[in-house]
Each structure stands twice: as structure tokens, then as C-alpha cells.
Amino acid sequence: MIYLDNAATTPVNSRVAQVIYESMQNCFANPSALYNIGADSETAMNKARAFVAGCIGAKPGEMYFTSCASESNNIAIYGLALARKNWGKRIVTTGYEHPAVQHPFEFLGELGFETIFVNPDKSGIVSEEEILAAVDSKTCLVSLIHVNNETGAKLDIERLSAAIKRKNPRTAVHIDAVQSFMKYPIDVKKLNIESLSFSGHKINGPKGIGGLYLKSGTNIKPVFLGGGQEKGLRAGTENIHYIQGIAKACEILKPNISRNLRHYRQLKKHLLEGLAQFDNVVINSPQDAAPYTVNISFTGYRSETLLHFLDSVGICVSSGSACSKGSQSHTLTRMKLPQEQIDSALRISFGVQNTEEDVDSLIRALKAAKEKLQKVKK
């Protein structure tokens, strides 16, 4: 099998799996328990918390563990907006956010917030000027996706956040960093943001664990209530095993971020060279997109048909966000691309395990698909 859908999820690193297994065997006690083995679990959890926080330049006390990045996004968006509703009810985001941001914004709109969605243009780029133009004295929250999950389009968060703060210092800035965490160097202090979300299963860790950075002193209303764990921000017994697992995944990736980026750039270059021989391929990703995600349209052939064909020869790609379950691409629709282009879209996303040989196999398979599949009649 050749797996080229790493934006959806990644294979769990065997070293991460071993850490989780050992934790389940030796660190099973509730971290809140008062006896010694409970204290041991708390010590292990705090060690993992400190390491993960250090990977993004945060303090240990600014790092919170959740079940996933969707939960982190919900906690941040609802909590930050509700804590500021007395002075501002305008919230701003992009039009190509993940559903875990898009839907909370829509719900806040039902609660009376003024929601602004800034759409990408046909090249997949969201205008920084349009985002800033949407910020006013009543803007309590701006939420931005660092790297788009469908096209790899990037935003310059440091520059944008600084400009937002100049325009309205009280505006909270939240970043969805699911597709950039441990792939690009991130320093939350330089970014000057209030919060940032990430996920374990996008970095060769397990599903069921996510993280939320929350800047010290940030005013936030807890929306996930219960036993008061995670300093009252996220209730529920902490998943010590997966917390240790995500820390191990970070430990493996941290010294190799620059090397991995070079690897992804080479794979992308090799892919684009291979795709250049097709007269029906359109590249939907911006030129300066993250190198590990490439969105194309194989015009004349429906995405679903192509996916099944590629799967039959052992190659896994997707047609867009895994959360859409095969429905039409949200991002490409917001880009207002032609329907034929949307209907024939494929997302190819690289992981650390991929090679140029994997790319060659994909190109051969696309050639075979063009020969064997019936072209869609216009």
C-alpha cells in the first residue's frame, strides 16, 4: 500500500505505540488520585506537558490536553468569544476553515454574533487586507487556519496577528495549527496569539489526543465543564497514555522539522514534474502552499471514480477534507472554481514515510486511469 493521504491522518510511529503500551501497563492510575501511583501519573503527565509546550515556545502552564483538535477549536472559539461578548460581538475567520471552526462560527452567529467569513480567491489565497478590513473596534475574535487542510495554502500568522493587534489590541487571535504543528517551526510568543490548536494523529501519534495552547492571563469562559481537570478549562480524566504518546511523537519530529520540509519540497517537485505530462491536470494549490499538500484536478474524471481506481491498485489519496466523507470540497467551492474542476479534485498529502518511488507509482496509476476509465461526458 502507498499511503498519500497524510493530511487526513498519519501512520502511528512504532516508537510512539511502544510508549503508549508501556504507559498503559505501568502508568494506569488517575493523575488526580492522592496516592503515590496517582502522583506518578501526574508527574509523567506534567513532564509530557512541559515537553510539548516547549516545542512551540510556550510555558507548561499554557498547555492543555484535549481529545482532539476539533475539541480544542471549540473550547477556544466559544470560550474566547463568550468571554468578550459584553464589548464586542463581531468574529472574523476565513472562508476555507476546517468544519471544527466553521460550524462553531455559524452557531455563534445563531447566538447573535456578527460572523465574517473572508473567502479565498481562485488561486486559493485569502487576502490579508480583507481580513484586516473586517477587524473593527467590536471584533472580539479572529480565528485563522495556519495551513489549509485541502490545498496547503498558508497564512503569515505573525504578520497578520501583529496587524490585528495594532488595529484592535483587545481582539483575541486563535490559530488552527493542525496542518502545521511539528511541520513548521512555531513560536507562539513571536506569533502574539491567544490560543492555538493541534492534534496527535496528524504527527504520527494516536487519534484521541489533541492540544490547546492558551496564553497566560487570557480571559476565557470554560465551556467544557465537569471535574475541573486541566485547570478547569477541559473537564474529564486526563488521557495520560496518549499524552505521553503525543509527547513522544513531538520528540521524534522536533529535531527533524527542517529536514522533513526539504524532503516534502523534493517530493512536491517530483510530483509536479510527473503531472506536467498530463494535458488534463490543473493544480489547485497556491504556488507557495505547504509542500506536503498538493490539490489537483484530474479534469474529465470524477474524483470518486479515481479514488476507487487508485485504491484498487493500492494507492490512497483523497478528494478533500476527510471530515467531508466524500462530499464536494468546501475549500474549492469557496474558491469559486468551475464545477468540473471541483468534481475531479484529488488531494495528495505527504508524510515522512513517503518516497519519490511512491510518487512514481501514483503517476503510473494516473496514466492507467486515463487509459482505462471512461471520461465524464460534458
What three-state secondary structure class fits 173?
strand
- pLDDT tens for residues 110-126? 999 999 999 999 999 99
Q: In which band, very low, low, confident or very high, does the pLDDT at 323 lie, cut at 50, 70 and 90?
A: low
User: pTM of the predicted model, to two decimals?
Assistant: 0.95
pLDDT in tens, 60-84: 999 999 999 999 999 999 999 999 9
> Domain check: are 201 and 284 in the same one?
no
Q: Are 148 and 284 in contact (CB under 8 A)?
A: no
In a domain, residue 209? The reply is yes
Identify the band that residue 30 occupies on the pLDDT scale cut at 50, 70 and 90. Answer: confident
Instruction: Judge if 155 and 167 occupy the same domain.
Output: yes
- With respect to residue 377, please indicate whether it lies within any of the assigned structural domains: no
Q: Are residues 294 and 154 in the same domain?
A: no
Residue 73 lies in a domain: yes
On whether both 265 and 167 belong to a single domain, the answer is: no
The residue among 207, 228, 254 that closes a domain is: 254
User: Minimal CA–CA distance to 335: which of 122, 102, 116, 99?
Assistant: 122
Specify the pLDDT at position 322: 54
142 shares its domain with 105: yes
Q: How many separate domains does the chain show? A: 2
Report residue 29's pLDDT band, with 50, 70 and 90 as the boundaries: confident
Q: Has residue 42 been placed in a domain? A: yes
In a domain, 214, yes or no: yes
Conformation bin of residue 208: beta by default, left when phi > 0, alpha when psi is -120 to 50: left
Alpha-carbon distance 278 to 285, whole Å? 17
Q: Are residues 166 and 278 in the same domain?
A: no
Query: Among 216, 239, 254, which residue terminates a domain?
Result: 254
Q: Given this model, what pLDDT does residue 321 score? A: 57
| Chain segment 157-190, per-residue pLDDT in tens | 999 999 999 999 999 999 999 999 999 999 999 9
Per the domain annotation, does 378 fall within a domain?
A: no
Asked if residue 168 and residue 231 are part of one domain, the reply reads: yes
Both 77 and 106 in one domain: the answer is: yes
For residue 351, the enclosing domain spans 2-9+256-372
Q: Which among 55, 68, 140, 323 is annotated as catalytic? A: 323
CATH of residue 36's domain is 3.40.640.10
Structural domain contains residue 297: yes
CATH number for the domain harbouring residue 309: 3.90.1150.10
Give the pLDDT score at 298.
Answer: 97
Show which of 201, 220, 254 is a domain's final residue.
Answer: 254
Examine the domain organization and report whether 57 and 190 are in the same domain. Answer: yes
Would you call 107 helix, strand, or coil by DSSP?
helix
Is the model more confident about 232 or about 347? 347
Give the pLDDT confidence of 219-251 residue by residue, as tens digits: 999 998 898 898 999 999 999 999 999 999 999
Instruction: For residues 263 and 362, state if they share a domain.
Output: yes
What is 259-287 written as a DSSP string?
A: HHHHHHHHHHHHHHHHHTT-SSEEE-S-T
What is the DSSP code (8-state) at residue 288? T
Confidence of residue 32 (pLDDT cuts 50, 70, 90): confident
Measured N-to-C along each axis, helices 240-253 and 36-54 cross at an angle, to the nearest 10 degrees, of: 30
Q: Assess whether 323 carries a catalytic annotation.
A: yes
Q: Which of 12-16, 231-235, 345-349 has the least mean pLDDT?
A: 231-235
Cell triple for residue 374? Answer: 471512461
